[in-house]
Amino acid sequence: MAEQPVCFITGGASGIGAACVRRFAQAGYRVGFGDVQLDKGRGLANAIGAGALFVPLDVRHESDFAAAVQAVVARFGRLDCLVNNAAISGVLGPIAQVPMEEYDYTCAVVQRSVFIGTQLAAQVMQPQRSGAIVNIASIAGITGGAGPHVYSACKAAVIALTQSVALELAESGIRVNAVAPGNIETPIHTGVTDERWTTRMARIRPLHADDQAIDRMGQPEEIAHAVAWLASDAASYVTGHTLVVDGGFTAGRPWRKQPGHWRELHRTKRGSAQ
């Protein structure tokens, strides 16, 4: 019987990260995951059982990240997949008013952590001559107006890094891809990770329901399915790709929100052609 594959997920205690932890465990992976949310992380690991390992992790610090990867490899013996998921919405506000210390903090969590994680994963995976890295990007890194300035810039950098590193690591049998979620129901929209996020999400949900062609916000599990597919052998010929999972947000303005005369002209033309 083939050895169970091993995945490590950052920011795995809640939101998309927690959905990925559960999805990879269901797919037969042994799963290591890290987060600064210690109680949530330990609770999720206990719920999954012996095939899961939670490690405290602040992705801003290279030494913490290295220790976390080492702990996963020591426990499970290998690393087949890394999901760089940890992120925050980061500093908000007009460009002229962004404090540089908050800029640096946001970049450290959202973009620098992806670089660190990818570097550490490559060090483990290259001797194996196999592996998959999946970075969680965002539609904010693809189109304007979908996120705050610094967050958007960092997510665009994640996409560029994904493409660049994919070209190098393909020669070591390692695939590197990204997923760009749209409006997903996670705590990042609410600014809190405790029980208050449910109440806040109930207020936010209707505001985003009409943003995309599919008239609802997405669920973390829908992103986890895309991540798991990119990590699997079913995507063995896919690398350097950013898979957009956004309900049609980046495709354009939903048809129901198009100017009425467009729809009327369409009907008129159809009638004249018959």
Among the listed residues 29, 103, 105, 151, the single catalytic one is 151
Give the Å distances, CA to CA, from 76 to 64, 269, 272. 18, 64, 68
Residue whose structure tokens are 């919405």: 89
The dihedrals phi and psi of 177, each to the nearest 5 degrees, come to -135, 175
Is 103 among the residues known to form the active site? Answer: no
The 3-state secondary structure of 202-239, one letter per residue = HHHHHHHCCCCCCCCCECHHHHHHHHHHHHCHHHCCCC
- Separation CA 88–CA 186 (nearest Å): 11
> How far is residue 73's CA from residue 80's CA, in Å, rounded to a whole number?
10
What is the set of active-site residues?
151
